[in-house]
Structure 1
Amino acid sequence: MADAHILIKGNTAQIGLPGGLPVHVKAKTSSRFIQTVKVTSADGSVDLRFTGSGERVSIGDATITGQSQITATFEYNDSDGTTRPSALRSGGPYQIGSYNLMVVVAENGDDTDYNDSLLEFSWHTPR
């Protein structure tokens, strides 16, 4: 888990994952505005797009295997339909036994709860 990390730059998160392990990626939203989360790797092998709106709604999940560096970009459509960057915060990595978790949360500015979109990474450390 030593190589797992998140670095926030504006509405983009640079994410380091443990290489060679399958990592489960889940995206959720709790906003009336349409949220979009794009997850990509520099080599193009990871190209995910999660989009949706609603309260406590899953907008997608996937498994990434073998990637150690990815980028996640968070945006939302405001009431006029204009695409805008979200504000981000992150947590983790957290290790609970062999279970590991990192999370990036986004805020679109209509409140300050940082749950408008959420991107969660989880994996198990081999024993």
Structure 2
Amino acid sequence: QLINRERSAHPVELTFALLSIPLGWFTIHAMTALHYAHVYWLNDEETDPGSKAKQRKPVGGLVFAGKERPDGWDFLYFSTTVGMTSQTSDTAVSTTQMRHIVLLHSIVSFFFNTVIVAAAVNLAVSLGSR
């Protein structure tokens, strides 16, 4: 819509249109990182119920290299790795439930990335034919 109109696009419209692509991409992976963390810690049990500091024992599903207790950055790292490469790197998937989630995430990411590439090619062709 912004490309094919007669008058030039307002800079604010163009900025929002261009920012929506990477923000949408990041939102997908941030949401899946939260979901991975939720499933990882789901139904966890307190390791020492009498202690004042609540230590949680994770259900798991992901094995992070060199980390006993992963934090949010670890889940975001895993999520963006799956989203960019459709594979895992140094993080192992260790449960069937987590494999299902990773499979769904990689399929959604593949189609989202395909649409972004197709839109970029379409944009380049449209701008090149002017």
TM-score range, shorter chain: under 0.3
Structure whose alpha-carbon radius of gyration is higher: 2
Q: Which has the higher strand share?
A: 1
User: What is the TM-score normalised by the length of structure 2?
Assistant: 0.25
User: What is the TM-score normalised by the length of structure 1?
Assistant: 0.25
The structure showing larger relative contact order (alpha-carbon pairs under 8 Å, at least 6 residues apart) is 1
Q: Which has the higher helix share?
A: 2
